[in-house]
């Protein structure tokens, strides 16, 4: 009888392991399909302005609205996921993604563009919050890696499509690009969302001893009263703001550096500096998430944060100093994305380590709203650039913010988390 029970437990562990990785793959596919909503946006800014002459700052307000609605509603969407499961919420997001970009294709006024951005953000947030939360729950033993791989789908997912989107814009107009890619992306999310499910009790392995995690599950109302949460929140806002500036403005930056259409040859492939940078940026942005998530599983969350944000400060400084050269522009912009994308694995992993996995989707969603808060800095970057006449001041601000967050990780967050776990 004991042997039979042991065999049953072994079979269950094997099945749950296969199920865990299957859930991760389904979530990554859904994340890939919403990546263009953020990382492809920069391709549409100049064509929209050329047609309607609304001005880049006014058009970039739509990007800020997208980020705000994508992030600030994730706690609500996370509550539905924690209560009803991931399938229905992700499917809802896929439908909204298709509607939003279809609306973008016919938007002839700023209010219509802002409405589409609102719908787009709600849909993307539903998918993003669902898939990251599901990964955090399924992998307590590899939380940084799992969250990083899932977030990588969002960070690198646009790499394969930015050039096709740009070609469609050049050949058929940005309206066709919005319509065709929007409907296609939404349908794929709707399909793969049907395979998502939450883990059952007893299916998951315990976290290894090297990973410091709370023994308690904190409800959202307790999390928002924790000083640790608000330190994480402020850190997230500061480092996210600089990265979102680069994400939204990389095409205008290349244009101002007179590099957008300058041809470069990399590994025997010739392309414009902007196209090459966009592909490499998205790949490195995606790679950063699982790589630094994996590093943090071994070296600790705060130690990893400190190191990578110092590197991020150097990346912004390098882009400002040497970005006028096409090859240095590609290199330093890629370095910026590589040292920014990991926040979407490090912060949710740290949040779940600190507050437990039972309410992981909702709690990580609460922290993710920091991205929405930081989005309002993006139009200010354009204002600062227009006022000063160059991007130098923007890069200096981004450099300083990254250095401050690196220091906060080591000297504020790390001692606070240690004391909290010792009290438990």
- Residue with more model confidence, 5 or 212: 212
Plot region of 53 (φ>0 → left; ψ -120 to 50 → alpha; else → beta): left
User: 15 in a domain, yes or no?
Assistant: no
Q: Which two tokens stand for residue 331?
A: 């290199």
pLDDT category at 278 given cuts 50, 70, 90 is confident
What integer is the mean pLDDT of 187-204?
Answer: 86
Give pLDDT tens digits for 293-352.
999 988 889 999 999 999 999 999 999 888 888 899 989 999 999 998 889 889 999 999
Task: List the domain range (segments joined by +) for residue 259.
Answer: 23-200+211-423
Q: What average pLDDT does the chain have?
A: 86
Q: Which of 165-169, 238-242, 409-413 tops mean pLDDT?
A: 409-413
User: 358 in a domain, yes or no?
Assistant: yes
What does the pLDDT read at residue 356? 86
How many CB atoms lie under 10 A from the CB of residue 179?
A: 20
pLDDT category at 207 given cuts 50, 70, 90 is low
User: 12 in a domain, yes or no?
Assistant: no
Counting the structural domains of the chain, the total is 1
What integer is the mean pLDDT of 180-190?
Answer: 93
CA contacts within 13 A on the Cβ side of 194: 5
pLDDT category at 41 given cuts 50, 70, 90 is confident
Q: Are 162 and 275 in contact (CB under 8 A)?
A: yes
Give pLDDT tens digits for 358-368.
888 889 889 98
Residue from 314, 279, 308, 312 nearest 291 by CA:
308
Least confident of 138-142, 156-160, 206-210, 213-217: 206-210
Give pLDDT tens digits for 145-155.
998 899 888 87
What does the pLDDT read at residue 193? 93
User: 73 in a domain, yes or no?
Assistant: yes
User: 16 in a domain, yes or no?
Assistant: no
What is the CATH classification number for the domain harbouring 28?
A: 1.20.1250.20
Q: Which residues pair with 269 in a beta bridge?
A: 266
Asked if the model's pLDDT at residue 175 lies above 70, the reply is yes
Asked if the model's pLDDT at residue 72 lies above 70, the reply is yes
User: 351 in a domain, yes or no?
Assistant: yes
User: 7 in a domain, yes or no?
Assistant: no
pLDDT category at 211 given cuts 50, 70, 90 is low
What integer is the mean pLDDT of 19-40?
Answer: 90
Asked if the model's pLDDT at residue 4 lies above 50, the reply is no
Asked if the model's pLDDT at residue 13 lies above 70, the reply is no
- Residue with more model confidence, 119 or 157: 119
Long-range contacts of 172-176 (CB under 8 A, 24+ apart): 173/47, 174/43, 174/44, 174/47, 174/48, 174/51, 175/105, 175/106, 176/105
Q: Are 355 and 223 in contact (CB under 8 A)?
A: yes
pLDDT category at 210 given cuts 50, 70, 90 is low
pLDDT category at 22 given cuts 50, 70, 90 is very high
Contacts of residue 419, Cβ cutoff 8 Å, sequence gap at least 6 = none
User: 412 in a domain, yes or no?
Assistant: yes
pLDDT category at 11 given cuts 50, 70, 90 is very low
Q: Which of 196-210, 273-287, 344-358 tops mean pLDDT?
A: 344-358
Contacts of residue 388, Cβ cutoff 8 Å, sequence gap at least 6 = none
pLDDT category at 12 given cuts 50, 70, 90 is very low
Asked if the model's pLDDT at residue 27 lies above 50, the reply is yes
């Amino acid at each position: 009888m004991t042997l039979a029970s042991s065999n049953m437990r072994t079979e269950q562990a094997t099945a749950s392991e296969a199920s865990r990785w299957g859930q991760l793959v389904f979530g990554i596919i859904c994340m890939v399909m919403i990546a263009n909503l953020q990382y492809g946006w920069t391709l549409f800014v100049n064509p929209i302005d050329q047609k309607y002459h609304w001005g880049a700052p006014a058009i970039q307000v739509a990007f800020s609205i997208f980020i705000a609605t994508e992030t600030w509603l994730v706690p609500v969407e996370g509550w539905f996921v924690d209560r009803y499961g991931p399938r229905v919420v992700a499917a809802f997001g896929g439908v909204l993604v298709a509607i939003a970009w279809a609306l973008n294709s016919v938007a002839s006024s700023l209010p219509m563009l802002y409405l589409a951005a609102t719908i787009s953000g709600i849909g993307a947030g539903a998918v993003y919050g669902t898939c990251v939360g599901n990964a955090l729950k399924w992998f307590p033993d590899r939380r940084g890696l799992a969250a990083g791989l899932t977030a990588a789908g969002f960070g690198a997912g646009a790499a394969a499509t930015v050039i096709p989107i740009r070609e469609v814009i050049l050949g058929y107009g940005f309206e066709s690009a919005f319509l065709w890619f929007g409907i296609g992306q939404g349908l794929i999310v709707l399909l793969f969302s049907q395979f998502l499910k939450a883990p059952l009790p007893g299916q998951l392995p315990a976290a290894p001893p090297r990973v410091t995690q709370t023994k308690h599950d904190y409800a959202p109302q307790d999390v928002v009263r924790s000083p640790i949460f608000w330190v994480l929140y402020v850190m997230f806002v500061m480092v996210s703001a600089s990265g979102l500036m680069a994400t939204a403005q990389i095409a205008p930056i290349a244009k101002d550096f007179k590099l957008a259409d300058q041809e470069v040859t990399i590994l025997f492939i010739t392309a414009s500096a902007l196209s090459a940078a966009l592909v490499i940026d998205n790949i490195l942005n995606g790679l950063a998430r699982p790589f630094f998530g994996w590093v943090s599983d071994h070296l600790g969350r705060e130690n990893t944060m400190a190191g990578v944000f110092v590197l991020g400060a150097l990346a912004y400084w390098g882009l400002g100093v040497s970005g006028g050269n096409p090859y240095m522009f590609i290199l330093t912009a890629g370095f910026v994305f590589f040292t920014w994308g990991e926040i979407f694995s490090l912060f949710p992993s740290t949040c779940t380590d600190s507050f437990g996995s039972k309410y992981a989707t909702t709690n990580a969603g609460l922290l993710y709203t920091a991205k929405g808060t930081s989005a309002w800095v993006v139009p200010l970057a354009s204002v600062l650039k227009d006022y000063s006449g160059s991007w130098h001041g923007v890069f200096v601000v981004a450099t300083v913010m990254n250095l401050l967050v690196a220091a906060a990780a080591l000297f504020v967050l790390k001692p606070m988390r240690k004391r909290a776990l010792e009290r438990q």
